[in-house]
Structure 1
Amino acid sequence: MKHKFELFREYYRKTDVGISLAVTSISAMLLIMALACKELEFYKFESIAVVALIFEFGYGTILSFLLLKNRKKHMHLTPFLMLNWLIGCFSLNVFFPVFLNLPVWVYATTFLFCISNFFLYQTKAENLRVLIFYFINGLTFWIIFYFALFLIPVMPYSLVGIIALGLGFYGLVPAIILVIHTLSILLYLPKNRYYFISFCAGFSTILVGFLVFTIGLVIESKKISEIIKMNSFETETDLPTYISISQNIKPNFFNEILLKKNIVYIDIDKFFSFDGFGSFSKQQFNETKAHNPFISIAYLFCKDLNINNDDRINILKSNFNKRLETEEHLWSGDQIFTKSIKEDVKIYPDSRLAYTEITMNIECHNKTLSNKEAIYSFQLPEGSVATSLSLWVNGVERKGVLTTKEKAKKAYNQIVGVEYRDPSLMQWREGNKVVVKVFPVNKINPRTFKCGFTTPLKVEDNKLKYQSLSIEGPNISNAETISRIQTVGNTSIETSKDFELEKGFYMNQSKGLDDWEANIPLSKINHSSFVWKNKVYEVREIQKTLTRFTPSEIILDLNDKWTTKQIESVVNLDRKNIFVFINGHKKEINKENFKAIQQDFENYHYSLLPLYKLTKNSLIITKSGTFSANFEDLEESNYFKKIKKNTKQRDIKVINISPDINPFWQTAKEQKYVEYFQTNLNNCLKMVNEHQFPLFKEEENVVNIEPALISIHQKAYTDSLKSNGPNHIYRMYAFGKVLQEQIKIQGDTISKNQYVELAKDANIVTPISSLIVLETDKDYKKNGIEQNVNTLGNASINNDGSVPEPYEWVLLIIGFSSLYFYYRKNKKQII
């Protein structure tokens, strides 16, 4: 250690080292402060970078003159000159961001390169202890190559800029450093074998890593290009052009990077063409734009995919679960994080329902002063419905008001986009999703919101299963999470997560939000019921019947999830009416050709069958995955128009032999385009052989909740019926009814309004209704939104119970009246 200190003192005594160290330290500190202000959006303080430029420019000019005048005397200052030149480049980039959103590791790599130069430009004899610095210099030298390459188109403007302001010089800095450092390496390193090997090892390491990465990217690029080429011959298709690409792309690290070209990652090739850093897109993609040198260079070796940005975004939505990133943002959502989550679950075994209340505390990183908009996506179990929303305004909980989705969106956009005040909005999305938006979040205004969801308990393996909600949103992984489960009645619970029984509640504390499930014993329905507005809503066992069904044809909905054995089991049914769809055309599949046909589906990840081409009473056997395009993605296509017009009358049956269901089949099932049943392959084959298909009995005033194997019946109130169940029974009935009736009356606005009123009454978020919280009661009135009057209102974990029955209201009124008159009488006597 003492020896190292002596070496530093010796170096410090050299000509102008002290002043160079002082100027470099000040410039570096000012640059770091400017970058921090930009990151924290303290834009008024970015001008600190100007001071760094003044320091660096003066120092660089003087030192350059001294080096030209007496190179031998000042050679040891060359590393300082390079470092200050690069500090000047980054300082100027704060105001003129040629390098947009450089990641931190780029700054760190550049800094390591400059530090290692101090060991390369010494005149001392060789020292084996500094081999590591030669390795680092070789490892980081590539970043200078990149800067020089990227700035080639800027060089003509830089030459003009030198004459005008002098600042244009910084556009030439990387090229100048590249020439100086390359000459130094060629002149000095070959004289020392150890240093040369160390430098080459570092340079080769990064080169090999880059080659491996680029080869992977090029291979994936060729695969996608081949898919596009084959698809170009399909002219008679009702589907959007991007769908066939999406169907054949298996999500992985490389093709996600390719699809994010010009959307998230900068493309150098576009820069060379002076086309800017991206093309126009109709859709937002709310992921921070990044200038990643590794990726940008690799793009140069990949063939352009010729897919426009909107199609790329649609593929990212379908294949990579990037739907949250495409939600409309009125304000930036960066620097927000979820500080804490409270997950409160109440289970009603008798009703086979559960209510989950999620409370989120949101804050901003680094205490930013600017307003931010937080957006969360909740993936709900099948059949679930959103039933409450609250936002804390000035420390007071304000509950959501239910209205039409159009009114809610208009009010939210007005208040967030124009008035910059406090709203929260909850909206329904296809595929059992709900999106919640909260505004504003900033330094002085961290936010708390709460939302609730009513969920059916799934019957599985003779047990009732509760599945936790999957949530996406700002930085959830480090949130402090507390989870609680309570049950109505004495019921034992088994959970996949470690819960401890404390004072009658099952409790767990953890980081982030884990996926977990709870199982309770399956019991018979106890006719749990809820009374509301002279109607009784009673839970009963679902009525399932096996109907006689002989399919006119069997369609195998093949994809890469089918095994050869499974396909063989179906074709062994030895029928002449088993078909597959290849490129939109029907083809017979049998024992002789099924292996050849399977090869066409080896890379086929999901299908969108032309249901409107099937014969009446067809049977589809599918093995669904978890991702696909949504109906909302296809809304403008001929495919969707034909599905809506020509499918329901065909009485198509679907059997899914997978436990998963993708968004396409989920919506087709919910909107009754098909009769859907989920089972295993053996049961499926048995039903086909026995000419049977299971159907759930449907009646006018009955809603079936298939996951829980229950139905909810509406009946007129009588004195013999009691309200002994939670209000969630009515909420689930209303949700099912809205979905059923809204499907029947598509396009009929007057009729739709009737079911908006039903949604309001039950306070449920549906395709035609949303929940919104506004800052004041006047805001509701101004936006034409009626507040909850004579409705169930927001669900609550502590107030789920029965509303008093009609005769109970009478007793309550008599009781309160008696108390009032007794109080008045006693008061007079005292006087």
Structure 2
Amino acid sequence: MRSLPPQQQKHGFWLAGIIVLLFELVMFSIPTYTNALESFGFFIINMLAASIYFFCLLITGELRRTQQGLHLFLVYLVIALVCCYTLNRDINMFDSSTTWLSVLLVIVSINYLLFPFFENWPVWIRYLQCFVLGVALVLFLYLALYLLPMYVFSAVAAFALGISLHTFVPLLFVIFTIKLLRRLAKTSHKYLLPFFSGIGAALTIIFVFVIVWQSQIKQMNQEYRQWEAHSSNELKPYWVRVASSLPTNMLTERVLKSDLVYRMPDGENLALWHTPSRNFDEAVIHDPLVVVANWFSETILMPQEDRIKVLEVMYKARHQAIERLWSGSHLQTTKVQTQVQVWPQQRIAYTHLHVTVANTSRSHSWGREQQEAIYSFQLPEGGVVTALSLWIEGKESKGVLTTRAKADSAYKQIVGVEQRDPSVVHWREGNKVTVRVFPVIAGESREFSIGVTAPLSSKGSELVYQSVSFDGPPCSGTDEEVVVHFEQKPAMCQMPGRFTHHKDASWWAKGSYHPEWSFRFQQPALAQTALTFDGKSYVLNEALQKAEALTLNTVYLDVNKAWTADEFAKIYEAVKFKKVYVADEEGALVQLTEDNKEQWYRQLSAHRFSCFPFYEVTDAATSLVVTKGTNISPTLKDMAACDFMQRLQQYFANGTRIKLYNIGEEQSPYLQSLKQFGAFHYQQGTVLALRDLLLSRQFPVYEVADSSVVMDNAGITITQTDSAAASASGNAPDHLMRLYAYQHIMQQSGSALLQNKAVPNAVIQEAAQANVVSPASSLVVLESQKDYDQFDIAKSKNSLDNAAIHGKGAVPEPGVWVLIAVVLLLLGFTKYRFYKKAIHL
């Protein structure tokens, strides 16, 4: 049998290596794209494939061939590199690679694979290969040094565990890259220039990154030292100023996440890696540039707690900063089922989300890996959670409303100590709630549902529904099914393109999960309907405003990055004959003049958000604050301990309300909370509408009585009356009472909530009766009645239950329930007598 020519042999072994590599890449990808629970088995398969290829090269003597053997061994090293990253899923050495590192590893690996054909390429491609080879040497030299602390252990363990030899793969890349370079240099010295150019380019990028990194940290540390020196005179925390002024870019984010998300060098132990603390719920990332930059840079002085607060504000990372009792690193949201029920004539919608979350980690035979699922739901303005369910052993268990303190205590005790099945939902600032579910066991999934009652937003002649979105376990590949049902068929309904019309009043969609979506339809006439419960009626009406005389002496402009120069100029021209003030970054007021207005606009518009010091408004009756909301800012809770917040609390303690006009579409979390707590007479519109308002010398104000609540975004008011006094028809959904209770709680206890004081017991009772989650109340699901008894949690006897899709409208009075029961018994007895008589006949 004739043997193959050397060139064909060379290509044959190379092709065999490519086939093995492609096979390994498939094995590597399966756990990623199928959420397979077992990943170590895929590593064993890859290691066996790599070993077979290596021993085939060794036995056939191909590795002893001078040039051919070098190229084939580099092919084997690329295969071994895939093995390393397959193993990395179970034995963590590198963490998750940053995107640029993953791309670079692919490029240099392809470059190694193509070197057997080096002589066949045009000259410019050969130079490019040598350039990439220089970059590869720097990369693998870094990785070899990164793994240096593990070499001794790996060498010792190699006799018992061959897998530890994977630690030396980067070092082998360094050795054989140098050997390859020497071979190329013997062929021609012209290949040295692009090779060293690649090294130079890589080192230049590292050097520039280190310099810029050092500059950023020095600036932050210098500002921090200045703040420490004058901290006794500062009203706001240092991090508020940092979050407002720092540039938003990838470098800033990496600096702030140092030792939170990115592995850092540990100078004390002279090791090149150090596991970050887990105060921040984000996967640990390996970025060589960050590691090297931190090795040569001074320590960041800003405490981790402050950096987390900056990240919460600048990068909307509040969900990642939530306190965790258990890890949630292997959780995946697998399915979301959304049902929406809309009452167009009442301008109310109820959204029911059924969520399935799975633990994709491997299930070990010696124990259960339990994780905690945490979700942050963003509610529409005025929305409130009115239902919570957790499925325990396949059976739905509904939530019970109790005080926030009791719910939190029960959840932490059971999760932290007893480790059984609870779920809880807590209110948060900024129209948010947090849902916790425990445990989600390795290889299994859990189901929970949450119900949200919210008013529809009135936009001109249309009503707009906004979906309930969430942050939580990843949603890549998550399936979603949505059903929207209208109680009355809407006119001119504009649904997203993925929806299909199912029936006269229903729409349906199925596919991949969409976190944010909305629909709109023509606004019908408001039905003046009522709901009767426990001797009270809840009547729905149009929200009416009265024109209050506007005698302005002072105008305050709350300027930030959202303001345009044109808006600032037009508003200043309209109010310049009054006293016009802006607040600097320290909260001190500065009066604007023709000479300084441009300077102050440039200075204040550089800040991405503002927290206006409303306590500086000395005469609320003759003052107006003009703002433009941003989508980021601190919350009131973020600043709870600072002097700024204490002054704010004292100012609003006596019920002072400020006239606030928003020329934008958004409200910052700071303004949202103050608005919810009743701090403003609030209006929103364009600059032109503001000028007309100033010319009319009238400011529209909603009349809010103790027994009425206003939802200005929906243009409705709900009034509580004695049932006998109600004149409207009693066919409204029970969501009317739920919305009233939530808004009334915020209205009546706003001052106490703003000052972090305990709310009156009557407020908690009102929340329990309507079954609504509020700052003082939470819904909790426990595993058994014994658990409820242990923590003194009981369902209110005279209250609404958890809200439900297609729930009943008007709720019968307790006396009516008795009458219904008597009628049913009589009907049953009559039917029984008739049946018995028919048998005898």
Interval of TM-score (by shorter of Structure 1 and Structure 2): 0.7 to 0.9
Query: What's the counterpart of residue 682 of structure 1?
Result: 688
Query: What's the counterpart of residue 428 of structure 1?
Result: 427
Do residues 591 (structure 1) and 584 (structure 2) align?
A: no
8 Å CA contact 2:118–2:126 kept in 1: the answer is: no
Query: What's the counterpart of residue 411 of structure 1?
Result: 410
The 5-angstrom pairing of residues 476-625 of structure 1 reads 476-498=475-497, 499-504=499-504, 505-572=506-573, 573-584=575-586, 585-617=588-620, 618-625=623-630
Q: 1:827 to 1:433 in 2, by over 3 A?
A: same
Moved more, 426-435 or 99-108: 99-108
Q: 1:588 to 1:48 in 2, by over 3 A?
A: same
Q: 1:748 to 1:627 in 2, by over 3 A?
A: closer
Do residues 658 (structure 1) and 664 (structure 2) align?
A: yes
Residue-pair matches, total: 818
Q: Give the Cα separation in 2 of the matches to 1:44 and 1:77.
A: 27
Query: What's the counterpart of residue 632 of structure 2?
Result: 627
Query: What's the counterpart of residue 337 of structure 2?
Result: 342
Compute the TM-score of the two structures, normalised by the length of structure 1: 0.84
The 5-angstrom pairing of residues 315-394 of structure 1 reads 315-365=310-360, 370-394=369-393
The Cα shift of 1:550 comes to: 2.7
8 Å CA contact 2:634–2:670 kept in 1: the answer is: yes
8 Å CA contact 1:359–1:449 kept in 2: the answer is: yes
Supply the AA of the counterpart residue of 1:723.
G
Q: 1:756 to 1:496 in 2, by over 3 A?
A: same
Instruction: Identify which of 761, 780, 784 aligns with 1:753.
Output: 761
Q: Give the Cα separation in 2 of the matches to 1:106 and 1:651.
A: 54
Query: What's the counterpart of residue 262 of structure 2?
Result: 265
What runs of 5+ residues in structure 1 fail to find an aligned partner?
none
The Cα shift of 1:556 comes to: 1.0
Q: Give the Cα separation in 2 of the matches to 1:177 and 1:45.
A: 26
Query: What's the counterpart of residue 718 of structure 2?
Result: 712
Supply the AA of the counterpart residue of 2:177.
H
Q: Give the Cα separation in 1 of the matches to 2:578 and 2:726.
A: 58
The 5-angstrom pairing of residues 200-219 of structure 1 reads none
Q: Give the Cα separation in 1 of the matches to 2:833 and 2:146.
A: 95
Query: What's the counterpart of residue 121 of structure 2?
Result: 128
The Cα shift of 1:317 comes to: 0.7
Q: Give the Cα separation in 1 of the matches to 2:75 and 2:726.
A: 92
Q: Give the Cα separation in 2 of the matches to 1:103 and 1:558.
A: 37
Q: 1:297 to 1:143 in 2, by over 3 A?
A: farther
Instruction: Identify which of 684, 701, 707 aligns with 1:701.
Output: 707
Q: Give the Cα separation in 2 of the matches to 1:652 and 1:661.
A: 16
Moved more, 734-743 or 469-478: 469-478
Q: Give the Cα separation in 1 of the matches to 2:85 and 2:466.
A: 50
The Cα shift of 1:561 comes to: 1.6
Compute the TM-score of the two structures, normalised by the length of structure 2: 0.83
Q: Give the Cα separation in 2 of the matches to 1:695 and 1:76.
A: 80
Q: Give the Cα separation in 1 of the matches to 2:469 and 2:420.
A: 29
Q: 1:392 to 1:102 in 2, by over 3 A?
A: same
- Per-residue CA deviation, residues 665-716 of structure 1 (Å, 9 max, x unaligned), is 0001111233332222222233334433222112121111111111111111
Q: 1:615 to 1:243 in 2, by over 3 A?
A: same
Q: Give the Cα separation in 1 of the matches to 2:351 and 2:580.
A: 44
Counterpart of 2:604 in 1: which secondary structure? coil
8 Å CA contact 1:135–1:203 kept in 2: the answer is: no
Q: Give the Cα separation in 1 of the matches to 2:618 and 2:255.
A: 40
The Cα shift of 1:295 comes to: 4.2
The Cα shift of 1:249 comes to: 2.9
- Per-residue CA deviation, residues 119-153 of structure 1 (Å, 9 max, x unaligned), is 65x7x993339997985675366455345346658
The Cα shift of 1:306 comes to: 3.3
Q: 1:826 to 1:314 in 2, by over 3 A?
A: same
- Per-residue CA deviation, residues 227-257 of structure 1 (Å, 9 max, x unaligned), is 6688677642121111101011353333222
Q: Give the Cα separation in 1 of the matches to 2:5 and 2:359.
A: 43
Q: Give the Cα separation in 1 of the matches to 2:686 and 2:217.
A: 37
Query: What's the counterpart of residue 252 of structure 1?
Result: 249
RMSD of aligned alpha carbons: 4.8
- Per-residue CA deviation, residues 743-799 of structure 1 (Å, 9 max, x unaligned), is 244589885333222111111011111111222233222332113533111111111
Supply the AA of the counterpart residue of 1:764.
V
Supply the AA of the counterpart residue of 1:256.
E
The Cα shift of 1:449 comes to: 1.7
Do residues 728 (structure 1) and 735 (structure 2) align?
A: yes
Q: Give the Cα separation in 1 of the matches to 2:387 and 2:645.
A: 32
Q: Give the Cα separation in 2 of the matches to 1:608 and 1:270.
A: 39
8 Å CA contact 2:555–2:578 kept in 1: the answer is: no
Do residues 780 (structure 1) and 788 (structure 2) align?
A: yes
Counterpart of 1:743 in 2: which secondary structure? helix
8 Å CA contact 1:529–1:537 kept in 2: the answer is: yes
Counterpart of 2:690 in 1: which secondary structure? helix
Counterpart of 1:264 in 2: which secondary structure? coil
Instruction: Identify which of 763, 771, 778 aligns with 1:770.
Output: 778
The Cα shift of 1:388 comes to: 0.7
Q: Give the Cα separation in 2 of the matches to 1:689 and 1:3.
A: 99
Moved more, 139-148 or 416-425: 139-148
Percent identity of paired positions between Structure 1 and Structure 2 = 26
Counterpart of 1:326 in 2: which secondary structure? coil
Do residues 402 (structure 1) and 401 (structure 2) align?
A: yes
The 5-angstrom pairing of residues 149-188 of structure 1 reads 149=142, 152=145, 174=170, 177-178=173-174, 181-182=177-178, 184-186=180-182, 188=184
Q: Give the Cα separation in 2 of the matches to 1:749 and 1:560.
A: 34
Q: Give the Cα separation in 2 of the matches to 1:51 and 1:502.
A: 53
8 Å CA contact 1:116–1:134 kept in 2: the answer is: no
The Cα shift of 1:478 comes to: 2.8
The Cα shift of 1:423 comes to: 2.1
Counterpart of 1:322 in 2: which secondary structure? coil
Q: 1:634 to 1:483 in 2, by over 3 A?
A: same
Moved more, 589-598 or 272-281: 272-281
Instruction: Identify which of 665, 676, 687 aligns with 1:670.
Output: 676
Q: Give the Cα separation in 2 of the matches to 1:49 and 1:381.
A: 50
Q: 1:147 to 1:11 in 2, by over 3 A?
A: closer
Q: Give the Cα separation in 1 of the matches to 2:500 and 2:86.
A: 55
- Per-residue CA deviation, residues 584-621 of structure 1 (Å, 9 max, x unaligned), is 22211123322121221242011112222332224211
Q: Give the Cα separation in 2 of the matches to 1:327 and 1:708.
A: 31
Moved more, 446-455 or 758-767: 446-455
Do residues 473 (structure 1) and 472 (structure 2) align?
A: yes
Instruction: Identify which of 238, 251, 254 aligns with 1:241.
Output: 238
Q: 1:172 to 1:295 in 2, by over 3 A?
A: same
Supply the AA of the counterpart residue of 2:390.
L
Q: Give the Cα separation in 2 of the matches to 1:750 and 1:155.
A: 56
Moved more, 743-752 or 208-217: 208-217
Query: What's the counterpart of residue 132 of structure 2?
Result: 139
Q: 1:204 to 1:500 in 2, by over 3 A?
A: farther
Supply the AA of the counterpart residue of 2:404.
K
Moved more, 102-111 or 345-354: 102-111
- Per-residue CA deviation, residues 338-384 of structure 1 (Å, 9 max, x unaligned), is 22222221111222211111122223447656333222221111111
Supply the AA of the counterpart residue of 1:439.
F
Moved more, 224-233 or 552-561: 224-233
Instruction: Identify which of 811, 827, 831 aligns with 1:819.
Output: 827
The Cα shift of 1:94 comes to: 8.4
Moved more, 269-278 or 560-569: 269-278
Query: What's the counterpart of residue 436 of structure 2?
Result: 437
The Cα shift of 1:827 comes to: 6.3
Do residues 312 (structure 1) and 307 (structure 2) align?
A: yes
The Cα shift of 1:728 comes to: 0.6
The Cα shift of 1:219 comes to: 8.1
